[in-house]
Amino acid sequence: MRPLKTLQKLYDEESQVVITEKGSPPRALFYGENFLLEDLPVGTRVIFPRPPLAGVPNVKAAIRWAINHPEGMEPLHALLRPGMKLTCVIDDISVPLPPMATPDVRQSILEVVLELCADSGVDDVHLIIANALHRRMTEGEMRRMVGQKIHDAFYPDRYYNHDAEDPDGIVELERTPCGSHVVAVNRRVAESDLIVYVNVNFVPMNGGHKSMGTGVANYASLRAHHNPKTIRESKSYMEPGHSELYRRNERIGRAIDKHLKVFHIETALNNRMFGPGVDFLHKKEEDYTEGDRLKFQAMRYALSKLPRAAARTVLNSIPAPYDVTGVFAGATEPTHAKTLEKSWQQYVVPVQGQSDIVIFPIPFISPYSVNSVLNPLLVQVMGLGYFFNLNRGVPLVKKGGVIILTHPAFDEFDPIQHPSYIEFFNRVLPETRDAVQIEQKYEREFAENPSYVHLYRKGNAYHGVHPLYMWYWGENGRQHAGKVIVAGGENNHVPALLGWDRTDTLTEAIEEARGFMGRSASISLLRIAPTVMVDVK
């Protein structure tokens, strides 16, 4: 007999992949602000996320242990001295998704760090949100993230959003003679004696050199890696060894580490996205109880009767009860290596072989639509950017295969958060979908538009160049797939502008995909969410 450990390993790997048979239950699939219930063809491979890992027994204790036993640096208490200038840089609201139940792990880390600072006589402390070219967080969002006590003590003078367009607030650390490689960061950060980076590692792309190299940089710095060429040369955003995006971030991050002293505190979360009442969404449909089926049908019916905006509000109001599975601290690279190990352990599911057709259910939220709407460009970036890249090395879909997205693909934009998206979608895409041509012709115009700069700095809008980045982000999927179909698209013009086909139902989308790939085409469904990644053998 095989040893028990070997049997358990085989069970853990194989149990996350289910082959559809006659009599298999229909699948509950995200479809924007609601769900589809779909019978899939016999032989369809359904890939489920791993069960949530157990969290650490005591989060505060894990934080204290990590900062006292860091990787490649002295303990945090040994780096503190009275009168020094210290800045805590904090990941913004784009992670995790959905936002985690309070207390947020960033609050827990700051409570430990700020108490240590007070005991060490460090009074000159600022908290800066690493929002890069993302929108500024609102005061309410900032309060929820760090808790009332910290918010009251630091906001607004010492707890604020990074401003990448502040002419006096950016310091350039390095620049190549041709100007293609610029390392520029927030002035307060650059002038600090010590920076403590507070990270939430939601997927393996987060953390590491990306934290500082992107989070507190400006447009001139981000241009080095937020471009079509870099994206095309990245086989997977989620695997550092196969990501040109990671390598370019690494060069900038190493330059920052050469000039500044940065102490990273990284946290890994499990994938427990759904709490009581909706926790059945973690299960395979084969494991649903009668109560689970009734709750799913009741939720689906209630969401269908609500206006879309109200349904979105309801879904956004359900916090995720994530558990912290690991806390690691110290120098950038050895700390991030520990975090990546924990991420692979939670997210990666081994599967055998690629598929001709892959189905990605698109939910109501993305990193760039928290408390907002998933507009067409963000549907595109979720499907062809993030979900397509949820792999290690080899995509789940074959080269030239078909990607099917389930989403209404409605023509709706948030004018507060995404003003430049509206212009990009209605002006640029009708002219061209070529990412390189868009970069050359339109990027500087959108990036330097004074109205968009003003809305970014004084409002809660994403930077003017952000919709172009979102289009670049889907370049991998566009170059790889032979066809993209949006199933359940409620209009024709949105899929047409994006270069996609549309069908009324998922069944029709599968039939069209089989007509394109052949009747014997293999099909896989990646069940997102909770978060899952594939390791294709």
pLDDT, one tens digit per residue, over 165-222 is 999 999 999 987 766 789 999 999 999 999 999 999 999 999 999 999 999 999 999 9
The beta strand positions in 394-450, using DSSP E, are 397-406
Confidence tier at 228 by pLDDT (50, 70, 90) = very high
Please report the pLDDT score of residue 489 as a whole number.
Answer: 97
Please report the pLDDT score of residue 448 as a whole number.
Answer: 98
For range 77-94, the mean pLDDT: 98
User: What tens digit of pLDDT does each residue of 89-121 get?
Assistant: 999 999 999 999 999 999 999 999 999 999 999
d(CA 32, CA 275): 19
Check: CB of residue 510 under 8 Å from CB of residue 430.
Answer: no
Virtual torsion, Cα 242, 95, 50, 332, nearest 10 deg? 50
Class of residue 282 by CB neighbours under 10 A (exposed 0-12, middle 13-18, buried 19+): middle
d(CA 203, CA 201): 6
Please report the pLDDT score of residue 94 as a whole number.
Answer: 97
For range 58-82, the mean pLDDT: 98
| Beta strand pairing call for 27-31 and 34-38 | antiparallel
pLDDT higher than threshold 60 for residue 14: no
Q: Let me know the angle formed at the C-alpha of 513 by 511 and 515, rounded to the nearest 5 degrees.
A: 70
pTM tops 0.75, yes or no: yes
pLDDT higher than threshold 90 for residue 396: yes
Please report the pLDDT score of residue 185 as a whole number.
Answer: 98
Q: What is the DSSP letter of 484?
A: E
**In 10 A of CB 240, how many CB atoms?**
21
For range 364-390, the mean pLDDT: 97
Residue whose C-alpha is closest to residue 528's, from 240, 274, 201: 274
Q: What is the DSSP letter of 99?
A: P
Beta bridge partners of 483: 402
**In 10 A of CB 15, how many CB atoms?**
13
Q: Helices (DSSP H) in 29-72: which residue ranges?
A: 59-68
Beta bridge partners of 128: 89, 160
pLDDT higher than threshold 90 for residue 163: yes
Tokens of 175: 């620049």
Tokens of 185: 């960061």
d(CA 281, CA 332): 35
Please report the pLDDT score of residue 355 as a whole number.
Answer: 98
Percent of the chain scoring above 90 in pLDDT: 94
Q: What is the DSSP letter of 422?
A: H
d(CA 333, CA 480): 31
Check: CB of residue 465 under 8 Å from CB of residue 447.
Answer: yes
| Residue in this structure with the two tokens 């089989």, named with its chain if needed | 514
pLDDT higher than threshold 50 for residue 262: yes
d(CA 346, CA 268): 9
pLDDT higher than threshold 50 for residue 11: no
d(CA 376, CA 495): 9
Percent of the chain scoring above 70 in pLDDT: 97
User: What tens digit of pLDDT does each residue of 290-336 get?
Assistant: 999 999 999 999 999 999 999 999 999 999 999 999 999 999 999 99
Check: CB of residue 198 under 8 Å from CB of residue 91.
Answer: yes
Check: CB of residue 32 under 8 Å from CB of residue 364.
Answer: yes
pLDDT higher than threshold 50 for residue 498: yes
Check: CB of residue 469 under 8 Å from CB of residue 385.
Answer: no
